[in-house]
Amino acid sequence: MKAKISLSGTLAGLALSLVIAGALPRTYSAQNKKPFTIDDIMKLKTVVDVRISPDGSRILYVITEPNLKESNYNSDIWLVASRGGTPVKLTNGPKRDDTPRWSPDGKRIAFISDRDGKPQIWLIDIEGGEASEVTEVKTGVAGFEWSPVGQKIAMIVPDGPTDEETKKIKEHDDVRVVDQDYKWTHVYLLDVAAKQTKQLTSGNQTVDDFCWSPDGKQIAYSTQPTPRIRDRNNTDISVIAVEGGQIRKLVERNGADSSPQWSPDGNELAFNSSNGVTGFNAQTFLCLVPSTGGTPRVISKSFDDGIQSFDWAADGKGLYFTAGRGVTQQLFYISKSGEVKAISSGEQVFGGFSFSKDSTQMAFLAQSATSAAEVYLSPTSRFEPAKLTNTNPQLGELAFGATEVIRWKSNDGSDIEGLLIKPVGFAAGKKYPLLTYVHGGPAGAFKLSFTPQLASAPIPVQAEPYPIQVFAAQGYAVLCPNPRGSTGYGEKFRMANFKDWGHGDYQDIMSGIDYLVKQGIADPDKLGIMGWSYGGYMTSWVNSQTNRFKAASVGAGITNVHSFYGQTDIPVALEAYFGGKPWSDLETYKKSSAMFFATNVKTPTLIQHGEKDDRVPIPQAQELYIMLKETGVPVEFAIYPRQGHLIMEPKLQLDMLTRNLNWFNRWVKGINP
């Protein structure tokens, strides 16, 4: 399934939601094996970016793994036959080899590698031989796609500094003026045989995605007016002629219109759209528009949730798409008339779909609470997943805490769902220390997926800051609630926290804890709470409202919504949730800011934050730290150098995981490391 090429971040810019795939029963039994440790986490390999060959016979995928010695990630490309067998490693570079894409005839693979410095496009013959570099782009290649006939490759390339700017940098005369002199991204064209490139798009616009027409004569692309993440929901779609460069606007209106994909017959384009709505939290729909121009038509209005990745069926009569459903993620088919049917089903999560040219076969990723992501294959006509890889066989030797889907009533009667990870060796009737983990977003969700999971660059794998299965191995129960505001439960539930951060969602979380206390699972005297991003916000907020917890961990957390508006790179997100700017409704902002209730906090708190975080800038953590320090609350503040909103370097990830484990052991269990 076509992946969005974007330089501006995810729509849920605050989210650290766990959404990758899995196939598992409703309850997952722990096995009496070796306990899970943080060292085991750091040895995990991550499978991403599955790509089936045009004829469906072979599948490419990427494995990333941490290198603790160098504190970076290595990624390599692998190949497995659709009929099964031993996978073959195609690349073996010390750095980045990823983003594999089949040539239309299935004989060559283009991929991105930074083995010689900047990320460039390389080619390798599928039958063997050495890879060869085919681009020498000064700023590196951000993404690419083969032309339908395989003679050319279109690619997204970011602007670099001009000669004058380079001179000023060397002379330390490089003043930057905010919101001026942007660096744009544009579409370039590569002649594969000649290894020559030319720029197709130009001007003050940032291209975030594109798609070739079936005849290879045109490219549809979506642009935003600035590179700022706040403008990624203000996108339009244009079409450019490959020969001649004539440009015409195809979809130009308010809100987001992006990720265009041409129909197989070339008569229409499908795209993601907010359907003219400009809000940051606007619902996303699947739309169609004639390729010659016209009025866009929404075909997914009957589907009450956001559309994720999508791909045309080979016959052009409909499209496949993925979307969240509660704690699961499923594959659906939608006809051009808007009729939706589920392809996958059950208490499972599936993602990363890639279809053969005739749509008869599909490869995808699947994972479970006890199995990291692996490559699967199924006929499209009937869902019969066959596992093709076993990348982390050592997981079979480890004991996992059983994961269960649980539901409870919030204080206002709302139905809330979440996951409970039981301690290894769980015994009914015994009370256990309970750690509550709040997800990011707030439009994120916990899914039935493998934990723990690390972030790895440049492949966008969501980070897992807390060693959940290590907690389970050490006798903790872990609650992962999906309070109001979470995705996968429909538009009304996702927006149920509008102008209400820290209130209804707080009750949803606390009622879940009360439910587990009443069930005799949670020890009410041994509670902890943790979360990253919006989860960090909720953790700081919870501690300003109650002293029930023995320990807390605030990761990249928002502590003062009022000051946050002037610090973050996405103030439009707050406007969408709070109904306006802070100076127009100060009380709404204040009533949801932990810092205005901070003198109530007594809970020992660990604060973790990336030094270079633009999403939730570090002053949010500093405000909380100074307040706790000055009021005598036990506090520890860890700053991770060079890191943004996610902690991406393996050595720093190791510290993050270990520090969280030691903090809760110390304050919840009374165990000093």
Q: What is the pLDDT of residue 502?
A: 94
Q: 374 has which bridge partners?
A: 366
Q: What is the pLDDT of residue 28?
A: 37
Q: What is the pLDDT of residue 94?
A: 80
CB atoms within 10 A of CB 215: 12
Sheet holding 340-342, edge to edge: 310-312, 318-325, 328-335, 340-342
Q: What is the pLDDT of residue 238?
A: 97
To the nearest 5 percent, what fractions of the chain are helix, strand and coil?
Answer: 15, 35, 50
Nearest to 435 by CA among 647, 636, 595, 667: 667
Report the alpha-carbon distance of residue 388 to residue 486 in Å, rounded.
33
- Residue 652's identity, in one-letter code, is L
In three-state secondary structure terms, 259 is: strand
The helix or strand, by DSSP H or E, that contains position 655, with its residue range, turns out to be: helix 650-664
Residue 630 φ/ψ, nearest 5 degrees: -75, -20
Mind giving me the DSSP string for 540-583? HHHHHH----SEEEEES----HHHHTTTSS-HHHHHHHHSS-GG
Give the CB-side neighbour count of residue 240, counting CA atoms within 13 A.
20
The answer to whether 309 and 50 are in contact (CB under 8 A) is: no
The answer to whether 154 and 125 are in contact (CB under 8 A) is: no
**Domains within the chain, CATH numbers bracketed:** 401-669 (3.40.50.1820)
Q: What is the pLDDT of residue 349?
A: 80
Statement: the pTM of the whole predicted model exceeds 0.85: yes
Radius of gyration of the chain (CA): 25
Nearest to 236 by CA among 179, 197, 293, 178: 293
Q: What is the pLDDT of residue 463?
A: 61
The answer to whether 1 and 311 are in contact (CB under 8 A) is: yes
Nearest to 260 by CA among 322, 190, 198, 211: 211
Q: What is the pLDDT of residue 346?
A: 73
Which residue positions in the chain have pLDDT lower than 70?
A: 1-32, 453-463
Take residue 528 and report the two structure tokens written for it.
Answer: 């902890």
